Amino acid sequence: MTLSVLCGVVFAGTNLIPPLLIRRMIEWIVEGGADESDIIGVTVSLFGLYLLRGATRYGYGVFSHMAAYSVMCSLMNRVYQHIQHLSHRFLNDQRTGSLMTRSINDIETVEDFIAHGIPETLLALIIPTSMMTVLFILNPTLAMVALVPVPFASWLVYKYVSPVRQMWRSVRGSLTELIASVQDNISGITVIKSFAQETNSAAQIKEKSVRFRDEMIRANTVSLLPAGIIEAVGGLGIVLVIWSGGGMSMRGQVSVADIFIFVVYMGYIYQPFLTLASINDVLQKATTSIDRVFELLAEESDIVDRSNSVSPGDMKFNISFDHVTFGYKKGLSILHDISFDVNQGEIVALVGPTGAGKTTICNLIPRFWDPDIGCVKVGGYEVNNLNLRFLRGNIAAVLQDVFLFHGTVRHNILFGRPEASQDEVISAAQIANAEEFILDMPDGYESIIGERGVRLSGGQKQRLSIARAILKDAPILILDEATSAVDVETEMLIQQAITRLVANRTVVVIAHRLSTVRNADKVVVLENGRIVESGSHSTLIEQNGTYARMLQAQDVASDWSFETNVDQR
């Protein structure tokens, strides 16, 4: 940016000198006394000045854009890293499209501010000031007349800054809403088609698009108005110079050469105002976008490493919940006084109806949230005293709703441990019973699986997720049972893979099919965010309480489903 400004200053200087050289030529012609060598000298000087003018104009543009793109890249990375560290409490209240707009579109708009706004503003100050100085030196009286419209032009530019900024803020808000809605609808396109809601969906997008269009037109109508007025004001300055200067010249108070300088300089003096007026909408967009970006950067996460957080070198990976109460919103608790232990190497199953708090318990272990009351411990340490990277690095998760990234099979397995070798990737895939379908794909491990693994079946996604967890080789495993929506053969393959995965690990499993928790060391039964029973599968059956009733209800539902399917066939 410094190089750009320096080039801009030199460029401004080249605007001053050519008219002065031409003024000298006019004086020679009118007064006489010049020879051919003088004309050649002026010509060569002008040629050199215009070469310098072209070079500095180029440097001014190139260096300002280099600065702008560097800042844009740096800011995009900074915003993305910041978003990654924001808490789930904040992220759950945001739409993905809104965050995308702020982290890409708004930052991209900032490039205009840096590449054009800063250098153009500097030139708008330097060029008029230097030229006004020259005009006052030549003829103070004519300079006063010529510059009468300047205060009015300056007032116009100032007057429109605040309202235009508010308009562009509204425009950016409408764009954010439009992008967020499009992103939501594209993500849910299968649901839209399933319910034949294409027409309604398109109508909603059209409504928001029309609103965005109307606000854009309104903002441009106002922000471009100063450019037209300043164009007229600039012409008025030249008219005043011709009218007043012509009379003064006839009275011998000013030379024709000086009038030439005044006319030429007046065009230059008002040009920066025209430039600022014409890019005013760009600058207002950028200013609004900067505000939105810094609002996001000002957000602070409530889940951060404490100053005394530790990463123990040797610890047992047992888990303990000690009288934990938690709610996603204050005053609305989801968990109530939860206490249980998972010893190292044990498998503890969480069971209960939907909404009982099973997933919430699992989210507290890697510290996605902090309890309102009580504490969660891993290896005897409260999780908020452990380094976040260390804590989460020792936890692997296999969830029912598998998230896979657009990319290759190998890339998705490596996500568990990016530095792993190809042999380790293959070994993890084999243990997860995934290699058979991987090798059947066109490019094997280099096959592209599409966004969220759209080219894979549910069972294939699950086995890739298990391979990813196997490769990570973390001592703690959170397992959201994922076999409820697959066929019997696939379920068997997944169960075999899970059996290999849980060996010698501390495991917390969310069980939807109670038949799958028979081998758990302990079963924790939840209802309405409270533990109502706890014990082994056989013990809970003997107690004939909530767990036994849930198991019986699932058996009845399974029998009914089987009979219904037979009747339908």
- Give this prediction's pTM: 0.69
Question: What are the backbone angles phi and psi of residue 314, rounded to the nearest 5°?
Answer: -140, 110
Radius of gyration of the chain (CA): 36
Contact 395, 374 (CB under 8 A): no
532 membership: H or E segment, kind and range: strand 530-535
Residues 540-549 have a mean pLDDT of 88
* More confident: 211 or 486: 211
pLDDT at 390: 92
Q: Which of 436, 527, 415 is nearest to 489 (CA)?
A: 436
Separation CA 257–CA 28 (nearest Å): 10
Question: What are the backbone angles phi and psi of residue 33, rounded to the nearest 5°?
Answer: 100, -5
Question: What are the backbone angles phi and psi of residue 539, rounded to the nearest 5°?
Answer: -65, -45
Q: How far apart are the first and last CA of the chain?
A: 75
pLDDT in tens, 427-440: 888 888 888 889 99
73 membership: H or E segment, kind and range: helix 36-85
**pLDDT confidence bin for 567, thresholds 50/70/90:** very low
Separation CA 547–CA 541 (nearest Å): 7
Domains 312-394+477-485+506-562 and 400-473 share a fold: yes
Separation CA 212–CA 336 (nearest Å): 46
pLDDT at 325: 95
Strands 476-480 and 506-510: parallel
Instruction: Assess whether pLDDT exceeds 90 at residue 532.
Output: yes
pLDDT in tens, 381-416: 999 999 998 999 899 888 877 888 888 999 999 988
pLDDT at 410: 92
pLDDT in tens, 116-166: 777 777 777 777 788 888 888 888 888 888 878 777 767 766 676 667 767
Q: Strand, helix or coil at 222?
A: helix
312-394+477-485+506-562: CATH architecture:
3-Layer(aba) Sandwich (3.40)
**pLDDT confidence bin for 564, thresholds 50/70/90:** very low
Q: Which of 425, 403, 406 is nearest to 414 (CA)?
A: 425
Dig out the tokens for 350 from the structure.
Answer: 């969480």
Separation CA 373–CA 318 (nearest Å): 20
Q: Which of 71, 70, 79 is nearest to 293 (CA)?
A: 79
pLDDT at 342: 93
Spell out the alpha helix ranges (H) of 301-404.
358-364, 388-393
Contact 241, 145 (CB under 8 A): yes
* More confident: 284 or 548: 548
Pick the CATH number of 400-473 from 3.40.50.720, 3.40.50.300, 1.10.3720.10, 3.40.50.2300: 3.40.50.300
Instruction: Assess whether pLDDT exceeds 90 at residue 255.
Output: no
Angle, alpha carbons 427-431-432 (nearest 5°): 115
pLDDT at 161: 64
Dig out the tokens for 99 from the structure.
Answer: 């965050």
Supply the mean pLDDT for the chain: 82
Contact 448, 406 (CB under 8 A): yes
Angle between helices 2-31 and 118-138 (to 10 degrees): 30
Contact 334, 529 (CB under 8 A): yes
**pLDDT confidence bin for 364, thresholds 50/70/90:** very high
Separation CA 283–CA 115 (nearest Å): 10
Secondary structure letter of residue 102 according to DSSP: I
Strands 476-480 and 395-398: parallel
Instruction: Assess whether pLDDT exceeds 80 at residue 443.
Output: yes
* More confident: 540 or 42: 540
Q: Strand, helix or coil at 311?
A: coil
pLDDT at 490: 67
Separation CA 485–CA 491 (nearest Å): 9
Number of Cβ atoms within 10 Å of the Cβ of 300: 11
Residue 356 buriedness (CB in 10 A; 0-12 / 13-18 / 19+): buried
Which amino acid does the sequence have at 116? H
Residue holding tokens 């104009």?
Answer: 57
Looking at the domain covering 2-298, what would its CATH class be? mainly alpha
Separation CA 457–CA 23 (nearest Å): 81
**pLDDT confidence bin for 190, thresholds 50/70/90:** low
Instruction: Assess whether pLDDT exceeds 70 at residue 110.
Output: yes
Q: Which of 18-22, 469-473, 492-496 has the lowest mean pLDDT?
A: 492-496
pLDDT at 562: 35
- Label residues 341-355 b or e (16+ Cβ within 10 Å = b): ebeebbbbbbbbeee
User: Mind giving me the DSSP string for 366-387?
Assistant: TTSS--SEEEEEETTEEGGGB-
Residue 161 buriedness (CB in 10 A; 0-12 / 13-18 / 19+): middle
pLDDT in tens, 481-526: 655 555 566 667 777 777 777 778 898 988 777 666 777 889 999 9
| 17, 23, 50, 401 from 47: Cα distances, Å | 12, 16, 5, 70
**What is the side-by-side strand order in the sheet with 319-326?**
335-342, 319-326, 373-378, 381-382
Separation CA 532–CA 526 (nearest Å): 6
Q: Which of 338-342, 365-369, 483-487 has the lowest mean pLDDT?
A: 483-487
Question: For the chain, what are the domain ranges?
Answer: 2-298, 312-394+477-485+506-562, 400-473
Angle between helices 2-31 and 36-85 (to 10 degrees): 160
Instruction: Assess whether pLDDT exceeds 60 at residue 93.
Output: yes
Instruction: Assess whether pLDDT exceeds 80 at residue 280.
Output: no
Residue holding tokens 């970006």?
Answer: 293
Separation CA 160–CA 280 (nearest Å): 9
Which amino acid does the sequence have at 332? L
